[in-house]
């Protein structure tokens, strides 16, 4: 199928391409013939477990537009699950990475260090919540940051038990699999899992109807009864849950948990891997809730598309590990570090925190309008460029709130075929999430929404 949209041209970008596209354009069936051919090659040699939700093969991308090998142009509302937060091939990131590649690509910081790692740690100390001495450890990916956060908290407290919340996602390593809520597809058949992980009820205002203090009392009572506060090394929380479906906790929920942690010597760890790095209009989503976590975990958007992750927190906690106790071959790679420095710089110089708020102001009223028109939209929620809609069954859905995964799958499929990459989420697969880059324009958002409205009408 072909959407007849004008071909697009814009100014030269420093990704080295002139005429970087800025509009959606579908010129072949989706996936197109070249993508199909690549897919066949891939099926012969790539593990099936690493399946792709949208099997169009990317040729290049810039800003909020992905161009596939068949020349189709997609509006990207997923940013590689919240990674290219400041935009695909952001000019400053590309320039910094190019420069760094020619100077140093590897040093192994724990053997022979370099300045970029130190500078990223300084920027994290400056921009994470809390006004106290902070230190960082740099690693490669989100799951590795979670692993190290837990490891550091255990060493500091001398305790072993770990608490997480229902609907959480923390990664795909053995420890982090155990910390995830959902069995399929993350855990089923992959055990045995790390022990002493305790899953407590969360705050999910659309479903539980509890106030923040009520939901916190429930979480705390559960952990007190089933574990005992004095056995807990840490509580790991996504301030806005990502894979779980962008639940914004009820007011007062997170501060009450933090207070309980502080009173009981439990390290409060904010997993900001999806919600952090300017996505919600603050450097870290914890700031929306007045939280000052003991440890903050960053990854995804921190290096504009290059692999980098971090554990940042109170110096006395971070320093609990003996020298040599923390590390890893590639952690804090110089090219990734240079890219991260460019990301922090761009957030300031391009006013990207305000861009996240602009995106919310464009997206949310439109989604609320669609909610009035289509009864399958049960809830619209989120902050900044992290907005979701939860789908329920038509008719009785508004009262029963019964999940409607079929509608989500159909809308995401329709959007894909019409040039919009639209990610799903939610424990029951009934959430559509908007994670656009902060470079997306209002025109691009409204164009994508027109496709989504058509998809809703076609249900
Ligand atoms: N914590 C809150 O969102 C990664 C998962 C993609 P890694 N979320 C995307 C997939 O299918 O595996 C994530 C997250 C939160 C931790 C992680 C893990 O980050 O960089 O994927 O290891």
**Cα–Cα dist 389/406, whole Å:** 14
Residues 6+ apart with CB under 8 A from 137: 148, 152, 310, 311, 318, 326, 331
Portions of the chain given CATH number 3.40.640.10: 94-349
Class of domain 94-349: alpha beta
DSSP notation for 109-145: TTTS--HHHHHHHHHHHHHSS-SS-EEEEEESSHHHH
DSSP notation for 174-196: HHHHHH-S--TTTTTT--PPPS-
Q: Which two tokens stand for residue 14?
A: 């420093």
Residue whose CA is closest, atom 3 of ligand 1?
274
Residue 442: count of CB within 10 angstroms of its CB:
12
**Cα–Cα dist 360/365, whole Å:** 8
CA of 170 to the centre of ligand 1 (A): 6
Cα diameter, the chain: 64
Series of mean pLDDT values for 10-residue runs along the chain (459 residues): 39 51 97 98 98 97 98 98 98 98 98 98 98 98 98 98 98 98 97 98 98 98 98 99 98 98 99 98 98 98 98 98 97 98 98 98 98 97 98 89 98 98 98 98 98 97
- CA distances (Å), 401 to each of 108, 391, 404, in order? 51, 8, 9
CA of 374 to the centre of ligand 1 (A): 31
Is pTM beyond 0.85? Reply is yes
CA 183 to chain centre: 19
Among 245, 299, 301, which residue has the most ligand 1 atoms within 8 Å of its CB, making it the best to mutate?
299
Ligand 1 near 141 CB (within 6 A): yes
CA of 312 to the centre of ligand 1 (A): 18
Among 274, 298, 305, which residue has the most ligand 1 atoms within 8 Å of its CB, making it the best to mutate?
274
Q: Which fold has domain 33-76+351-457?
A: 3.90.1150
Cα-based angle 53, 362, 284 (whole degrees, multiple of 5): 70
3-state secondary structure of 405: helix
Residues 6+ apart with CB under 8 A from 404: 376, 391, 392, 393, 394, 397, 430
Ligand 1 near 139 CB (within 6 A): no
Q: Count CA atoms within 13 Å of residue 134 on its CB side.
A: 26
Ligand 1 near 81 CB (within 6 A): yes
Cα-based angle 332, 333, 338 (whole degrees, multiple of 5): 95
Ligand 1 near 279 CB (within 6 A): no
Portions of the chain given CATH number 3.90.1150.10: 33-76+351-457
Ligand 1 near 422 CB (within 6 A): no
Q: Count CA atoms within 13 Å of residue 123 on its CB side.
A: 26
**Cα–Cα dist 389/434, whole Å:** 9
CA of 298 to the centre of ligand 1 (A): 11
């Amino acid at each position: 199928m072909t959407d007849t949209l004008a071909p697009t041209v814009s100014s030269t970008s420093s990704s080295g391409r002139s005429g970087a596209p800025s509009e959606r354009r579908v010129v072949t069936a989706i996936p197109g013939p070249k993508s199909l051919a690549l897919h066949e090659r891939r099926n012969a040699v790539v593990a099936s477990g690493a399946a792709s939700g949208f099997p169009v093969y990317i040729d290049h991308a810039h800003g909020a537009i992905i161009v596939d090998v068949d020349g189709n142009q997609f509006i990207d509302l997923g940013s590689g699950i919240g990674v290219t937060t400041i935009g695909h091939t952001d000019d400053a990131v590309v320039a910094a990475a190019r420069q760094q590649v020619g100077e140093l690509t590897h040093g192994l910081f724990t053997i022979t260090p370099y300045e970029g790692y130190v500078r990223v740690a300084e920027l994290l100390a400056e921009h994470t919540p809390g006004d106290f001495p902070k230190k960082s450890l740099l690693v490669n990916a989100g799951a590795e940051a979670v692993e190290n956060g837990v490891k550091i908290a255990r060493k500091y407290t001398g305790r072993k038990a770990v608490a997480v919340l229902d609907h959480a996602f923390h990664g795909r390593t053995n420890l982090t699999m155990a910390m995830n809520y959902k069995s399929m597809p993350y855990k089923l058949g992959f055990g045995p899992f790390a022990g002493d992980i305790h899953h407590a009820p969360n705050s999910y205002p659309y479903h539980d109807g509890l106030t923040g203090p009520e939901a916190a009392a429930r979480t705390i009572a559960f952990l007190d009864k089933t574990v005992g506060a004095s056995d807990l090394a840490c509580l790991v929380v996504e301030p806005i849950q990502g894979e779980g479906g962008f639940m914004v906790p009820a007011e007062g929920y997170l501060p009450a948990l933090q207070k309980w942690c502080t009173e009981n010597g439990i390290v409060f760890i904010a997993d900001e891997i999806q919600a952090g790095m300017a996505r919600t209009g603050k450097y870290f989503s914890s700031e929306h809730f007045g939280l000052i976590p003991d440890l903050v975990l960053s990854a995804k958007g921190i290096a504009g598309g290059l692999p980098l992750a971090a554990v940042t927190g109170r110096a006395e906690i971070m320093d609990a590990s003996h020298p040599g106790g923390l590390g890893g071959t590639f952690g804090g790679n110089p090219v990734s570090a240079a890219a991260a420095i460019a990301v922090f710089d761009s957030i300031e110089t391009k006013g990207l925190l305000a861009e996240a708020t602009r995106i919310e102001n464009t997206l949310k009223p439109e989604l609320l309008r669609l909610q009035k028109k289509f009864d399958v939209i049960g809830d619209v929620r989120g902050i900044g460029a992290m907005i979701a809609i939860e789908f329920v069954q038509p008719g009785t859905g508004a009262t029963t709130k019964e999940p409607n995964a079929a509608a989500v799958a159909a809308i995401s499929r329709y959007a894909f075929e019409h040039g919009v990459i639209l990610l799903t989420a939610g424990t029951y697969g009934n959430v559509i999430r908007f994670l656009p880059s902060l470079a997306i324009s209002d025109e691009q958002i409204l164009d994508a929404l027109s496709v989504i409205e058509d998809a809703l009408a076609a249900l």
